[in-house]
């Protein structure tokens, strides 16, 4: 774990995401090694794609919604699926959630979430299990940012999120118009213009919507 923590610190920089100036995260920037690493370089070193090193706009939108509406999570148990950097989980903790779980199957992401939680004085439990299909007993609110970027992922995740909504949980989905986001069964609750980089998105600003997932 010390080696992973050292890797994260050496390859990222403490950064405040554009939409979340209240938080500081270990992120890849134009001057850090991870930003400059190619996919081929990552494959040679055996590293998974460093999705955790970027504050994706869908996650920023959900986190912003939570910080702007702390009553939506205060005193409740929150589960942040595919947490990445942990940005949504940190926002939930900051907003007064009773307990927050950040789920990530990438062990480097799990370490990054712990480092980011410590940097922000937040209490977040990192879970490295594959939770898709789990009933998430005891959870009140489920959050998911940017999970519809590939068809296999969307096809696997969205029925599960709808089932969780049907079981009475509040399910929030952050999405900037990814190709495989469903066109129905969603209720818009917030919309944000999020500054980003053309190196990771196709434009300098993307519009991200926070959706409430309706029961399937």
For residue range 90-117, list pLDDT tens digits in order: 999 999 999 999 999 999 999 999 999 9
Residue 36 has pLDDT above 90, yes or no: no
Condensed to tens digits (0 to 9), the pLDDT of residues 138-162 reads 999 999 999 999 999 999 999 999 9
- Longest CA–CA span in the chain (Å) reads 46
* Residues in Cβ contact with 45 at an 8 Å cutoff, skipping those fewer than 6 apart: none
> Which H helix or E strand runs over 62?
helix 57-68
For the chain, helix, strand, coil in percent to 5 are: 35, 25, 40
Going from the N-terminus, what domains does the chain have, and what CATH number goes with each?
56-213 (3.40.50.150)
pTM for the whole structure? 0.92
| Cα dihedral 212, 214, 215, 216 sign | negative
Grade residue 204 by pLDDT with cuts at 50, 70 and 90. confident
d(C-alpha 43, C-alpha 31), whole Å: 21
């Amino acid at each position: 774990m010390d080696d992973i923590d050292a890797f994260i610190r050496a390859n990222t920089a403490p950064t405040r995401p554009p939409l979340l100036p209240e938080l500081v995260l270990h992120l890849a920037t134009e001057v850090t090694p991870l930003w400059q690493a190619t996919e081929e370089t990552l494959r040679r070193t055996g590293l998974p794609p460093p999705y955790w090193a970027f504050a994706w706009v869908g996650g920023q939108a959900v986190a912003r919604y939570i910080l702007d509406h702390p009553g939506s999570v205060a005193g409740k148990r929150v589960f942040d699926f595919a947490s990445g950097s942990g940005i949504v989980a940190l926002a939930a903790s900051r907003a007064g959630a009773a307990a927050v779980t950040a789920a990530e199957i990438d062990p480097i992401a799990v370490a990054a979430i712990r480092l980011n939680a410590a940097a922000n004085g937040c209490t977040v439990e990192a879970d490295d299990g594959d939770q898709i299909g789990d009933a998430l007993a005891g959870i009140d609110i489920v959050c998911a940012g940017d999970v519809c970027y590939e068809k296999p992922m969307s096809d696997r995740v969205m029925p599960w999120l709808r089932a969780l909504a049907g079981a009475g949980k509040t399910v929030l989905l952050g999405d900037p118009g990814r190709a495989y986001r469903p066109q129905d069964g969603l209720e818009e609750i917030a919309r944000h213009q999020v500054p980003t980089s053309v190196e990771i998105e196709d434009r300098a600003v993307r519009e991200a919507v926070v959706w409430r997932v309706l029961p399937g």
